[in-house]
Amino acid sequence: MVRAKWKMVVSLILFMVSPGDGLFHAVYRSILVSQSFKGNAGQPLFLSPYIKNGKIKEGQRKSMVSPFPGMNDKSYAGYITVNQTYNSNLFFWFFPARMQPEDAPVVLWLQGGPGGSSMFGLFVEHGPYIITSNMTVVARDFPWTFTLSMLYIDNPVGTGFSFTDHFQGYATSEDDVAQDLYSALIQFFTLFPEYAKNDFYVTGESYAGKYVPALAHYIHSLNPVQKFKIRLKGIAIGDAYTDPESIIGGYAAFLYEIGLLDEQQQKYFQKQCSKCVKYIKEQEWMKAFEILDKLLDGDVTTGSSFFQNVTGCTNYYNILQCTEPKEQSYFAKFLTLPQVRQAIHVGNQNFSDGAEVEKHLREDTVKSVKPWLSEIMNYYKKRYENVFSFPSSGRSSHLPKKCMGSITKGSPDRVTLLCEIRASASRSYRWLQPSLHIALE
Ligand SMILES: *[C@@H]1O[C@H](CO)[C@@H](O)[C@H](O)[C@H]1NC(C)=O
Ligand SMILES: *[C@@H]1O[C@H](CO)[C@@H](O)[C@H](O)[C@H]1NC(C)=O
Ligand SMILES: *[C@@H]1O[C@H](CO)[C@@H](O)[C@H](O)[C@H]1NC(C)=O
Ligand SMILES: *[C@@H]1O[C@H](CO)[C@@H](O)[C@H](O)[C@H]1NC(C)=O
């Protein structure tokens, strides 16, 4: 009994700090993917010219990925040009659902970071393939692609295989992110019209807690005035980093409670976080970013972060592992193999670790998308189950379900809204308490 409870506590904590987090992309940084390679990687495939010229069948055929040995999943991959001025291109890899692809929902997956490649989600979290240390491809037992048509996009441009030729091509705001993704989606559905009539969901985790509401809100605003309607049905976000102001205040107490900070360190941490929140309120974005980076990430400010110094750990996604598990980066080496690059049509394009992307989004990292999320939730409130129906039984599904389970009084619609906003504060101690309580009952 005691043992079972302990397990529950651990699994919840793991969830709170699960990978792909935040400004929190050390996990992706360890992925060195622009190693040189020998052999013919082919040419990158740019699909926008086919789309523009109505050569749909030809574009589809060209984007088909030859299955890896022993696998027989159908999939399509290539580049979509989202801004011609700057030659900005988003890389996608699309897997039609194995079961009833003709009417399965289409689910867009966006990794966090900022600057984390969605190939992490594909290979490490829920795609059909797992890569082993010897570069063998193994089938995942329960991939999301069983029942969902999964669209993995490296986002924003400059992330993973996605790239831009110009400094100004990088996103500096969530508006930029949404605009580029929207352009990619319109073109994608033009290339694959048979999937455009199906329900569409925007999903992701961690820093995608900002991308998802931004894109959903963008679609929601443009659908009424655009000829092409994207059939947005709902959104799903795991360990969402949506509203920094309401999240950051809870870090110190949380880290103290799980024993990663002592009392003295907690006091310092809290003081810095309060300062950060104060700067956010004053819209001093860079100052807020710098405090947080020094405290937790050490991404941009030089030297190791306060967190790294006092815990001796570089990995804060799993308190049981001080460093990243190496299985999480096997896929990176896999993506350097010329035959793989040829198969997924990226040719010799560099795979970026996201550092440049984060530099351009520094100010954005401390801004909130809460108003967009609230509006979306209001609009889709009648689609309550859809909004919250996570396509997986993975860890990320805990929070909204717990949240729904706890609703006993009041107007369900209002509570739904509140619930989701609180879910966005998933990293805070205040939120952890009630979910622990519910879980242990
Ligand atoms: C290209 O990006 C720039 C900067 O974000 C933007 O001003 C411009 O409208 C974009 N062009 C197109 C065609 O989307
Ligand atoms: C590669 O790894 C897989 C899974 O760990 C194993 O089954 C297979 O035998 C290995 N292949 C070689 C050639 O070592
Ligand atoms: C962490 O320790 C290093 C080495 O002592 C130091 O240079 C750095 O300033 C420390 N970082 C913080 C945020 O205190
Ligand atoms: C990849 O990066 C290297 C080093 O930054 C650069 O020299 C090369 O031109 C890049 N390749 C492509 C295809 O952009």
Distance 136 CA to ligand 2 centre (A): 7
Residues ≥6 apart with Cβ < 8 Å to 350: 34, 163
Q: What is the average pLDDT score of the chain?
A: 79
Distance 350 CA to ligand 4 centre (A): 6
Q: Residue 235 has what pLDDT?
A: 86
**CA 136, 141, 144 angle in degrees (round to 5)?**
105
Q: Ligand 2 — pocket residues by CB below 6 A?
A: 132, 134, 136
* 126 secondary structure, DSSP code: I
Return the best residue to mutate from 89, 179, 183 for the ligand 1 pocket (most ligand atoms within 8 A of CB). 179
Put residue 158 in one of left, alpha, beta given phi > 0 → left and psi -120 to 50 → alpha. left
Question: Which residue, 194, 200, 207, 192, is CA-closest to 223?
Answer: 200
Q: Which of 11-20, 63-72, 405-414, 430-439 has the highest mean pLDDT?
A: 63-72
Of 8-22, 38-52, 173-187, the poorest mean pLDDT is in 8-22
pLDDT digits (tens, 9 = 90+) for 2-20: 333 333 222 222 233 333 3
Residue 167: is its pLDDT beyond 90?
Answer: yes
State how far the Cα of 370 lies from the Cα of 322, in Å rounded to an integer.
Answer: 32
Q: Residue 439 has what pLDDT?
A: 23
Distance 95 CA to ligand 2 centre (A): 25
Question: Which residue, 85, 164, 156, is CA-closest to 116?
Answer: 156
Residue 436: is its pLDDT beyond 70?
Answer: no
Task: Please check whether residue 359 is in contact with residue 352, taking contact to mean a CB–CB distance below 8 angstroms.
Answer: no
Kindly give the number of the ligand 2 atom that is closest to the alpha carbon of 138: 4
Q: Ligand 4 — pocket residues by CB below 6 A?
A: 348-350
Give the pLDDT band of residue 38 (cuts 50, 70, 90).
low
- The residue whose CA has the least distance to atom 2 of ligand 4 is 350
Structure-token match 């993704």, residue found: 181
The ligand that comes nearest to the alpha carbon of residue 83 is: 1
Q: Is the peptide bond before 156 cis (omega within 30 degrees of 0)?
A: yes
Q: DSSP for 8-43?
A: HHHHHHHHHT-SS-TB--HHHHT--------S----
The ligand that comes nearest to the alpha carbon of residue 136 is: 2
> In the chain, how long is the greatest CA-to-CA distance?
65
Q: Residue 236 has what pLDDT?
A: 84
- The residue whose CA has the least distance to atom 7 of ligand 2 is 136
Of 5-14, 47-56, 62-71, the poorest mean pLDDT is in 5-14
Return the best residue to mutate from 291, 293, 304 for the ligand 3 pocket (most ligand atoms within 8 A of CB). 304
Residue 131: is its pLDDT beyond 90?
Answer: yes
Task: Please check whether residue 173 is in contact with residue 114, taking contact to mean a CB–CB distance below 8 angstroms.
Answer: no
294 pocket-lining for ligand 3 (C-beta < 6 Å): yes
pTM of the model: 0.81
Question: Which residue, 121, 4, 149, is CA-closest to 395?
Answer: 121
The ligand that comes nearest to the alpha carbon of residue 169 is: 1
Distance 154 CA to ligand 4 centre (A): 18
Q: Which residues of 29-56 are buried (b: 16+ CB within 10 A; e: fewer)?
A: bbbebeeebeeebbebbbbbebbeeeee
State how far the Cα of 25 lies from the Cα of 219, in Å rounded to an integer.
Answer: 27
360 is written with which tokens? Answer: 């351009």
CA distances 102 to 73, 131, 202, 393, Å, are 15, 29, 19, 23
Which residues are paired to 204 by β-bridges? 110, 237
Type of residue found at 360 = H
Distance 434 CA to ligand 2 centre (A): 44
State how far the Cα of 317 lies from the Cα of 307, in Å rounded to an integer.
Answer: 12
Helix ranges (H only) for 382-426 are 384-388, 398-405, 412-423
Question: What are the phi and psi torsion angles at 219 (to 5°)?
Answer: -60, -45
Task: Please check whether residue 385 is in contact with residue 228, taking contact to mean a CB–CB distance below 8 angstroms.
Answer: no
Task: Please check whether residue 82 is in contact with residue 157, taking contact to mean a CB–CB distance below 8 angstroms.
Answer: yes
The ligand that comes nearest to the alpha carbon of residue 182 is: 1
Q: What is the mean pLDDT of residues 419-425?
A: 32
pLDDT digits (tens, 9 = 90+) for 229-244: 999 988 888 878 888 8
Q: Is the peptide bond before 193 cis (omega within 30 degrees of 0)?
A: no
